[in-house]
Structures are given as C-alpha cells and as structure tokens.
Amino acid sequence: MSSKPNLSIIIPVHNEEENILELYERLYSTLSLPSLIEITYEIIFIDDGSTDGTFEEIKKIKNSKVKVVRFQRNYGKAAALSCGFKRSKGDFVITMDGDLQDDPNEIPRFIEELKRYDMVSGWKNKRQDPISKTLPSKVFNRLTRFITGVKVHDFNCGYKAYNNYVVKNINLYGELHRYIPALVYWKGYTVGEIEVEHHPRVHGESKYGIERLLKGFLDLITVTFLMMYKKRPLHVFGGIGILFGLSGVIISIYLIVLWATGLKIGDRPLLMLGILLTVTGAQFISLGLIGELITNSRNNDDYIIKYDSYELENGR
Ligand code: UDP
Ligand code: MG
C-alpha cells in the first residue's frame, strides 16, 4: 500500500500518445536527482477522452507511483485538473502539460517557492508557440491583470505549483483553468510567479484554437463577478433593479405631470419600447449571472470516469 506522498504531479492529456513515455522518462530522471531524493511522489495522468493510444501508453509505465484516471469523453482541461486536484494526496501539487513543452527540471524551483507562497504560477516569458497563440495570449493576460488586479504575467500557463490546501479549495469548470491565479488570490491565498523554460511542441497538435479562446474571454465575465460579488449577488442585481425602478418612477412622474397639465401621453411608443427592452435585457443578464453563481457554488462533477487506478488500488 502506498504511503502519503510529498508531491503530486498532475498531467492532463488529450491525444498525446507520442509524448507520454518520453515525458515519464524525463520526470523520472528529475525526480531521481539528489536534491529531490527525499521527496516521495505520485504522478497522476488524467486522460481527457483521448481517441489515440494515450491511455495504452500510460498503462505501459511500470511504476506504482503512476496513476491514471480516464474520462469517458473529452471534457476539457478544467475538468481534468479538477479531477486531479481531488485525487492528489501530496503536500505539494504540481500541474504540467503533457506535451513536453514544460521542463521537469523546473520542479525543484517550484517546490522552493512554495515555502514562500500558497501557490506559484509559471511564466512562459519566452513562449515557444506560433504568433497566432502568443499574441492573443498577451492581450488576454493584460486584460485579466487589469480586471482582476492580480499581478501575474501568464495566467494560463499549465505549469503551476500549489500547497495541497489550495487545490482542495478551488472549483474549476468551463474554461476557468485560465484564471486559476485570480481564483486562488480571491480566496485569500498568496500567489507567486517564477519564469519557466518552455520548449516547442514536437509531437501532436495544440488543442487550443480561436473557438476556445472566445469561450475563455466569456469566462472572464464570470471571474470578474465571482471576484467582486459572489457573496452578495443582491448588490449587483439590486443595484440594477434600483436603477431601472428609479428611472421608471421618474418617467411616470414626468408623464403624470404632463397628463395633469392636460397633454396627451398615450402616443409615445418609442419610449415604452426603450424601457421594455432595457428592462428585459437587464433581467437576462441577471439570470445569466445567477446561473453562473449557482454553478460555481455547487460541488458535483461534470465528468464521468471510465477507469480509475485509485479505485482499483482500494479494491473497489
Ligand atoms: N488538454 C486536455 N484536454 C483538452 C485539451 C488539452 O487535457 O481538452 C491537455 C493537452 O493534452 C496538454 C495540455 O492540456 O497536455 C495543454 O494543451 P495544449 O498543448 O494543446 O495547449 P497549448 O500549449 O497549445 O496552449
Ligand atoms: Mg502546449
């Protein structure tokens, strides 16, 4: 039976068959370094609905410290990380991409920084990806930094490290993994950042294109509201309500005064239409936000698991 590890390494993978074994080899040699020899570890692969041989490649690894959870289908990186967070037993938790772009040699630096911060985010300052990815990412990072006020350069870097209590307290879904430093900071934890080396992708393809970027931008609205108003949704909706209600009262008083002086008020359809549309619009926004807030506070998982080495280990 395995004892509690010091370090959990979580790797979400979707169609990375050519990268798995090489990544494991590199991780294994880093974890065997004299500086890390004291560290006991577990490596948790989350196979996020791969349709190639990724799962079979992971199963080839003969090391009881390597675990794999296989999803029924592709649910996205946020779901994969969320599942890994739940499984992780280590005092320190590191997440990294499974495409060999993140260098295992950074692990000792991450662990060192975790003594100072609750969470440490990687910063791919010299990111080795095409401009079609690096440019939107720069815009996205500036915008997120501006809106959330969290001074991190690279919110979406897959390479991050946490003290275990942090991962047990964040709730990820949709594209929210892009905003982890902001979510963590909002919970009241300290967030550090270290520059990490980044390699070009050699095998396989990037799974993130423009469509996912757009979804990610929409989630920025959620994050903004979560950070500002989660506990007091009424302060948002009530504020809007008061604003609209007051304008309604003012307009009514104005119309009553006109009516009292003998003027006709029944022939102003445009005014009525305007009011109707704005009120309806505001209600739709409010409903959307209430939905987001409820989604964020619920705890059931969005994913179905097809295979789980933890359950096998516990004899279930
Ligand atoms: N990934 C995943 N589920 C997805 C998309 C990606 O688990 O739906 C994994 C992917 O296999 C890789 C990591 O997330 O290990 C980062 O993905 P990718 O390299 O495609 O993103 P990029 O580095 O191009 O932003
Ligand atoms: Mg990548």
- Examine residue 304 and state whether it is found in any structural domain, yes or no: no
- pLDDT (tens place) for every residue of the chain, 316 residues total: 457 889 999 999 999 999 999 999 999 999 999 988 889 999 999 999 999 999 999 999 999 999 999 999 999 999 999 999 999 999 999 999 999 999 999 999 999 999 999 999 999 999 999 998 889 899 999 999 998 889 999 999 999 999 999 999 998 988 889 999 999 998 999 999 999 999 999 999 998 877 777 888 888 888 887 777 665 666 666 677 777 777 777 777 787 788 889 888 777 765 676 677 767 767 777 777 787 777 777 766 778 889 988 877 766 5
* Token reading at 291: 């939905």
Which backbone phi and psi does 106 adopt, to 5 degrees?
Answer: -80, -10
Which backbone phi and psi does 183 adopt, to 5 degrees?
Answer: -65, -40
Range of the domain at 205: 7-229
Ligand 1 center–CA 185 separation, angstroms: 24
CB–CB of 107/201 below 8 Å?
no
Q: Which residue has the tokens 């041989």?
A: 53
Residues 100 and 249 in one domain: no
Could you say which of 211, 229, 247 is where a domain stops?
229
Find out whether the beta carbon of 67 lies less than 6 Å from any atom of ligand 1: no
Find out whether the beta carbon of 225 lies less than 6 Å from any atom of ligand 1: no
Neighbours of 63 (CB within 10 A): 10
Could you say which of 196, 229, 262 is where a domain stops?
229
Residues 135 and 283 in one domain: no
- Examine residue 313 and state whether it is found in any structural domain, yes or no: no
Ligand 2 center–CA 128 separation, angstroms: 9
Q: Which residue has the tokens 């993130």?
A: 208
Q: Is the dihedral of CA 148, 149, 154, 157 positive or negative?
A: negative
Q: Based on C-alpha coordinates, what's the Rg of the chain?
A: 25
In this prediction, residue 209 carries a pLDDT of 77
In this prediction, residue 312 carries a pLDDT of 73
Could you say which of 229, 245, 279 is where a domain stops?
229
Q: Beta strand 41-47 with 7-13: parallel, antiparallel or unpaired?
A: parallel
Index of the ligand 1 atom closest to the CA of residue 205: 20
Find out whether the beta carbon of 12 lies less than 6 Å from any atom of ligand 1: yes
DSSP one-letter code for 305: E
Please tell me the distance from the alpha carbon of residue 107 to that of residue 65, in angstroms, as a whole number. 17
- Examine residue 44 and state whether it is found in any structural domain, yes or no: yes
Residues 97 and 223 in one domain: yes
- Examine residue 311 and state whether it is found in any structural domain, yes or no: no
Ligand 2 center–CA 123 separation, angstroms: 14
Minimal-distance CA residue to ligand 1 atom 25:
208
Q: Domain with 26 in it: what CATH number? A: 3.90.550.10
Ligand 1 center–CA 123 separation, angstroms: 17
Residues 58 and 198 in one domain: yes
Residues 191 and 289 in one domain: no
- Examine residue 99 and state whether it is found in any structural domain, yes or no: yes
Find out whether the beta carbon of 206 lies less than 6 Å from any atom of ligand 1: yes
Residues 225 and 241 in one domain: no
Residues 222 and 281 in one domain: no
Closest-CA residue to 165 (of 241, 89, 79): 89
Find out whether the beta carbon of 5 lies less than 6 Å from any atom of ligand 1: no
In this prediction, residue 247 carries a pLDDT of 75
Cβ-defined contacts of 254-258 (< 8 Å, 24+): none
Please tell me the distance from the alpha carbon of residue 205 to that of residue 33, in angstroms, as a whole number. 31
- Examine residue 60 and state whether it is found in any structural domain, yes or no: yes
ipTM of this complex > 0.90? Answer: yes
- Examine residue 200 and state whether it is found in any structural domain, yes or no: yes
Find out whether the beta carbon of 42 lies less than 6 Å from any atom of ligand 1: no
Ligand 1 site-directed mutation target among 74, 77, 196, most atoms within 8 Å of CB: 77
Neighbours of 40 (CB within 10 A): 16
Residues 187 and 107 in one domain: yes
Helix%, strand%, coil% for the chain, nearest 5: 50, 15, 35
Residues 141 and 245 in one domain: no
Please tell me the distance from the alpha carbon of residue 116 to that of residue 118, in angstroms, as a whole number. 7
- Examine residue 305 and state whether it is found in any structural domain, yes or no: no
Residues 155 and 282 in one domain: no
Q: Give the count of domains, the chain.
A: 2
Residues 171 and 250 in one domain: no
Find out whether the beta carbon of 77 lies less than 6 Å from any atom of ligand 1: yes
Helix (H, G, I), strand (E, B) or coil at 144: helix
303 vs 103, 158, 193, CA distance in Å?
29, 20, 30
Find out whether the beta carbon of 154 lies less than 6 Å from any atom of ligand 1: no
Find out whether the beta carbon of 292 lies less than 6 Å from any atom of ligand 1: no
> Which amino acid is it at 64?
S
Residues 258 and 225 in one domain: no
Index of the ligand 1 atom closest to the CA of residue 206: 20
